């Protein structure tokens, strides 16, 4: 959406920019014009495909809303709005009526993933909001002519806006006050240390509810299955409960699972084993290093970042999404978020105490919209595929982040590997969710698990395009977030070609990282500052395969230095640093 001086060119420009987002919603296009305000939408029809076209309205069309996302509790919310007349079966229409009933303070009632812009024509005010974690992307921009813009992706703002930001997750913008305020205030946000004892059944039940509610679909769906713990649990819970859902009556109770990797990669082998155990219709997809390299420019255009880890993992996901969409599937469930909530990354082995462990998980969740959420949403949306992430369910996060972090700590003396609290919650001898060796399999990062030669191939490719003299002058060419490896430099040049404005590069974070850590966690181990690499293989000596080796020995694959990920230390700083989510 944008608002600006009214003329025929403005509508034409809105139509032109909306076309840049057509990949996100190829099923239908909608536009609403009111004086100098324009709301445009590209629809991916998943719930109520026949009547839920957008923009959506209240009864007299005085409230107009355009939404990207899913509202899982829409039926419950509708039941409490007895005096309202609903025109469609769309889950998103409830937003217009909630605003009519409660004004701006309704956003926390929504259970789902969303970014939306709502126009109240009665006083020509508007609001924009983004879901709690930032699963759906959203950007906000300002034009020199006084116009205000919102878009799901940066590419629709980069021409007309002098400045734009990634809209902070869990925030609302109101034109009445002209500022952003945080609507999402869960107990864990303050980062104080919880003391609730670990309850494995509560973890299990709340996660099962999170998965089941995400089976709200009127179109075929599947599960992305890497064979690791998180995606395997999603697939297991879906296969256990699919028969009792509405979607099974529409599309059958045979679950489809999808995995991608280089031939012979760890993920392909592990995923097939899980799929065979669960009895899913499994689709094993392959790509070559060259196919991945050939797609890099398109991937960076779509995901709108130059972060090394994100690009490494987005490329296979981008290729997989195209193949999934070609099979007629429009929605997938995925396992993002678990490692942030439970401290699943290998570097968490080095957390010095439960306070540092917990604070790092909080920092990681607050920054998800810049990394894994951005990757999962934009890699799939590039091909009109929607990804849903049950681990980032609002209630499940509250339950999981309320556990005394002592239980999440990696304690080999007690037989607790990373994410033990999650593994143990689904360790059921009577009705097993997964075989024991899969339930307790150690993590591979997605970019590692698709095949170790993938990252090595990327580094070789970058070395062919980036000379030593280019690296020597990197701090002059790119003074902000200076790339420190040839791979990072190469991605930056591609990004700047598509998004040359200063505002664009500021939407991407930077700073030191090891194995996906935040900058703060690099302090946990003195050796890490010498061997920074965003790959999971860089967490020296903590993977089972490395325990026999000495901790002083760095992995052969580690870059001498690599830029990757910085997480803001405190949530309040997010409004100044953030960016990505909604088909507006």
Binding-site entries for ATP: 224, 260, 334-335
Is-contact 164 304, C-beta < 8 A? no
Bridge partner residues of 37 (DSSP): 3, 34
Angstrom distance (rounded) from CA 120 to CA 102: 13
Antiparallel, parallel or unpaired: β 112-120 and 63-71: antiparallel
Angstrom distance (rounded) from CA 67 to CA 118: 8
Element (H, E) at 70: strand 63-71
Angstrom distance (rounded) from CA 563 to CA 551: 22
Bridge partner residues of 112 (DSSP): 71
Specify binding-site residues for L-glutamine.
Answer: 91
Among residues 171, 64, 53, the alpha carbon closest in space to that of 126 is found at 64
Angstrom distance (rounded) from CA 399 to CA 425: 13
Element (H, E) at 167: none
Is-contact 446 226, C-beta < 8 A? yes
Helix (H, G, I), strand (E, B) or coil at 393: coil
Angstrom distance (rounded) from CA 11 to CA 63: 20
* Cα dihedral 310, 314, 316, 320 in deg (nearest 10): 160
Beta-sheet strand order (sheet of 221-224): 281-286, 256-261, 221-224, 331-333, 386-388
Angstrom distance (rounded) from CA 249 to CA 241: 13
* Tokens read off for 337: 């978020």
Beta-sheet strand order (sheet of 112-120): 56-57, 63-71, 112-120, 125-130, 171-174, 179-182
Is-contact 134 183, C-beta < 8 A? no
Torsion-angle region of residue 86: left (phi > 0), alpha (psi -120 to 50) or beta? beta
* Cα dihedral 529, 312, 155, 93 in deg (nearest 10): -100
Angstrom distance (rounded) from CA 453 to CA 51: 47
Element (H, E) at 570: none
* Tokens read off for 89: 């079966």
Angstrom distance (rounded) from CA 89 to CA 49: 9
Specify binding-site residues.
Answer: 91, 224, 260, 334-335
- Please give the angle made by the CA atoms of 462, 537 and 277, to the nearest 5 degrees: 110
DSSP H stretches of helix in 478-549:
486-498, 502-506
Does the CA dihedral 352-357-358-360 come out positive or negative?
positive
């Amino acid at each position: 959406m944008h608002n600006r001086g009214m003329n025929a060119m403005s509508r034409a420009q809105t139509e032109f920019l909306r076309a840049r987002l057509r990949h996100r919603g190829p099923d239908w296009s909608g536009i609403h014009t009111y004086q100098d305000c324009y709301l445009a939408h590209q629809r991916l029809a998943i719930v109520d495909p026949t009547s839920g076209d957008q923009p959506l309205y209240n009864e007299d069309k005085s409230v107009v809303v355009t939404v990207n996302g899913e509202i899982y509790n829409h039926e419950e919310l509708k039941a409490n709005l007895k005096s309202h007349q609903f025109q469609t079966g769309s889950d998103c229409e409830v937003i217009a009526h909630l605003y009519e009933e409660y004004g701006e303070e309704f956003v926390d009632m929504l259970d789902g993933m969303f970014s939306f812009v709502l126009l109240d024509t009665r006083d020509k005010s508007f609001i924009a909001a983004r879901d709690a974690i930032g699963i759906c992307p959203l950007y906000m921009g300002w034009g020199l002519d006084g116009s205000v813009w919102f878009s799901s992706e940066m590419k629709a703002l980069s021409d007309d806006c002098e400045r734009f930001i990634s809209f902070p997750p869990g925030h609302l913008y109101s034109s009445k006050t002209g500022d952003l305020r945080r609507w999402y205030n869960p107990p864990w946000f303050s980062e104080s240390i919880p003391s609730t004892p670990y309850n494995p059944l509560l973890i299990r039940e709340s996660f099962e509810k999170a998965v089941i509610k995400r089976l709200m679909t009127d179109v075929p769906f599947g599960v992305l299955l890497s064979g690791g713990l998180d995606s395997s649990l999603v697939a297991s819970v879906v296969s256990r409960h699919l028969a009792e859902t509405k979607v099974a009556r529409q599309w059958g109770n045979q679950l489809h699972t999808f995995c991608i990797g280089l031939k012979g990669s760890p993920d392909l082998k592990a995923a097939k084993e899980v799929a065979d155990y669960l009895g899913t219709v499994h689709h094993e997809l392959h790509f070559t290093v060259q196919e991945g390299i050939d797609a890099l420019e398109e991937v960076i255009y779509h995901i709108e970042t130059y972060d090394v880890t994100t690009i490494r993992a987005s490329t296979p996901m981008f290729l997989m999404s195209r193949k999934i969409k070609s099979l007629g599937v429009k929605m997938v469930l995925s396992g993002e978020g678990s490692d942030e909530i439970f401290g699943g990354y290998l570097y968490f082995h080095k957390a010095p105490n439960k306070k540092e462990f917990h604070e790092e998980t909080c920092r990681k969740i607050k920054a998800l919209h810049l990394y894994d959420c951005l990757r999962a949403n934009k890699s799939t949306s590039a091909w009109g595929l929607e990804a849903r992430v049950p681990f980032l369910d609002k209630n499940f996060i509250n339950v999981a982040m309320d556990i005394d972090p002592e239980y999440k700590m990696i304690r080999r003396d007690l037989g607790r590997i990373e994410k033990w609290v999650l593994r143990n919650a689904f360790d059921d001898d009577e009705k097993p969710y997964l075989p024991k060796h899969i339930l307790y399999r150690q993590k591979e990062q997605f970019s590692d698990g698709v095949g170790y030669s993938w990252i090595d191939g990327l580094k070789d490719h970058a070395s062919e395009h980036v000379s030593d003299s280019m690296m020597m002058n990197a701090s002059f060419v790119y003074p902000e977030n200076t790339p420190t490896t040839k791979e990072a430099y190469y991605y930056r040049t591609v990004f700047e070609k598509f998004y040359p404005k200063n505002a664009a590069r500021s939407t991407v974070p930077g700073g030191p990282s090891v194995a996906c850590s935040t900058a703060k966690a690099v302090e946990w181990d003195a050796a890490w500052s010498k061997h920074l690499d965003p790959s999971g293989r860089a967490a020296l000596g903590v993977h089972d395969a490395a325990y026999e080796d000495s901790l002083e020995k760095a992995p052969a694959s580690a870059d001498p230095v690599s830029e990757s990920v910085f997480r803001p230390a405190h949530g309040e700083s997010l409004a100044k640093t953030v960016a990505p989510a909604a088909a507006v």
